[in-house]
Structure 1
Amino acid sequence: MLYTVLIPAAGSGKRMGADKNKLFLELRNIPILVHTLRVFDKDPNCEQIVLAVKKTEQLFIEQLLMDYRITKVSAIVEGGEERQHSVYAALKVVTSKEVILVHDAARPFIHQEVIEQLVKAAGASGAAVAAVRAKDTMKKVEDGIIQETVDRESLWIIQTPQAFQYALLEKAERLAEAEKFLGTDEAMLVERLGERVHIVDSTYDNVKMTTSEDLLYGEAILNKREQEEQ
């Protein structure tokens, strides 16, 4: 099944301690953004990629697309103040209105098999998100004091991609904008509609490059994948 992926890429490098967009930082001499784009660019089921970027960075990103021969970016839109606004701006220019994926630009290690399962699940049920089970003991805390130990068997760590049928995501985004509601992810907006969002098992190496320590982890993942391919 074909899909379109929306990639909000208008963030910053504050938590990374960088003086530029963290997506331009490099792993193996290649920008994080390019690593992420390559996953979808080489996927035959990916019909198009839509990027939401800072206006001041658009020319630089367009040059990256040419330099690294990324061919499936069909549109680049100006990102908004929040991630949610960037996703909605990207959604408005989509031409293929079937299954839509939303993926963090700073998650370059998503597996192809997970993408396939997400697209299949969203096509069948409407909405699905990549996630992994919580491994650590989880505590509910108030004012620095533990209130209770939460059963981690029911807890999942949510990642991206998040996959939706176009009509469902469009309705959720439109309603959130009308009601001035700001969610933490697209699944939250869909949940507000009373719709079910299914979980697709992902991998723990689908990490988001957020801090400088994550860059070291990213290098380790690349080393591991090279060894697996030998």
Structure 2
Amino acid sequence: MERLFTSVIIPAAGQGRRMNASINKQYLTLSGKPILAHTLDVFERCPLINEIILVVNKEEFRICQQQVLKLYHYKKVHLVEGGDTRQESVYQGLKAVNPRADIVMTHDGARPIIQESVIIESIYETMKHQATVVGVPAKNTIKVINVDGFVEHTPDRDYLVEIQTPQTFAFKLLREAHESARKEGIEGTDDAFLVERLGHPVKIVTGHYTNIKITTPEDLIIAESIIKRFDKNDKRGKKN
């Protein structure tokens, strides 16, 4: 396999107001260390990742350095100032990506239980398709409603996927997608949406239901339980 240069952008500048905490949720403790450190660990360890662009609020540079970067001695991480929205933060991260990069991933800082095997598969699939996103089959029945709150129709669940991260793209494709959106004033729900706007197909990489995004206090409890289960089975970082 030809050696690629792969970067990952981790936006961690969100305030996480639904967590009702006094600090950004990324720095809350999960199984003895900050949530963000768990996330960084997996990408730092993965041999196919060349650099990590960590995007945080300027006001949180100090806490990030003290509680995460210096404490855990990451070698791949470059700290970048974020924007007012996730999309703007990713764009700022894109500007900091090494020009040598072939592939760029984006991954939520608050998804600390991502599995290395999924990262690797995402990279391989992106080599073939130029654009991939991790997702899991929808468990619940989804209803499409109208503006008055009445059900319009029920889509076939076999064709519904709950999207996660990482989302992985050819560097030039993702950069073009973000620049096009900025020029037209488009705010997307995720990076894949911006690529879809260009008419480029996006391939699904099947992920795991354990790859949760920590948004509320209840999510923190669930994440603790998942990590304890993996640690008990001696599969931390090698989860299947």
Q: Please report the TM-score for the alignment, with normalisation by the length of structure 2.
A: 0.92
Structure 1: 5+ residue stretches without partners: none
Residue from 112, 115, 120 that aligns with 2:116: 112
Task: Tell me the SS of whatever aligns to 2:40.
Answer: helix
1:213 aligns with 2:218: yes
Task: Tell me the SS of whatever aligns to 1:229.
Answer: coil
Whole-angstrom CA distance in 2 between matches of 1:9 and 1:222:
21
CA RMSD of aligned residues (A): 1.1
Whole-angstrom CA distance in 2 between matches of 1:145 and 1:181:
28
Q: Compute the displacement of 1:76 (Å).
A: 1.5
Do the aligned partners of 1:65 and 1:71 also contact (CA within 8 Å) in 2? no
Moved more, 140-149 or 54-63: 140-149
Q: Deviations over 1:26-71 (max 9, x none)?
A: 1112110000000101111110000111001012212221111222
User: How do 1:65-214 and structure 2 match up within 5 A?
Assistant: 65-73=69-77, 75-95=78-98, 96-142=100-146, 143-214=148-219
- The one-letter code matched in structure 2 to 1:108 is P
Whole-angstrom CA distance in 1 between matches of 2:137 and 2:5:
28
Structure 2: 5+ residue stretches without partners: 236-240
Moved more, 62-71 or 48-57: 62-71
Whole-angstrom CA distance in 2 between matches of 1:115 and 1:29:
24
Whole-angstrom CA distance in 1 between matches of 2:127 and 2:49:
14
User: How do 1:15-94 and structure 2 match up within 5 A?
Assistant: 15-63=18-66, 64-73=68-77, 75-94=78-97
Whole-angstrom CA distance in 2 between matches of 1:94 and 1:150:
39
Q: Please report the TM-score for the alignment, with normalisation by the length of structure 1.
A: 0.96
Do the aligned partners of 1:106 and 1:209 also contact (CA within 8 Å) in 2? yes
Whole-angstrom CA distance in 2 between matches of 1:216 and 1:65:
25
1:6 aligns with 2:9: yes
Moved over 4 A (4+): none
Whole-angstrom CA distance in 2 between matches of 1:155 and 1:25:
32
Q: Deviations over 1:1-50 (max 9, x none)?
A: 54110001101131111121110111112110000000101111110000
User: Which structure shows the higher strand fraction?
Assistant: 1
Whole-angstrom CA distance in 1 between matches of 2:153 and 2:181:
33
Do the aligned partners of 2:122 and 2:132 also contact (CA within 8 Å) in 1? yes
Moved more, 93-102 or 185-194: 93-102
Q: Deviations over 1:92-141 (max 9, x none)?
A: 11113211000000000111111111101111211000000001111112
Whole-angstrom CA distance in 1 between matches of 2:180 and 2:127:
22
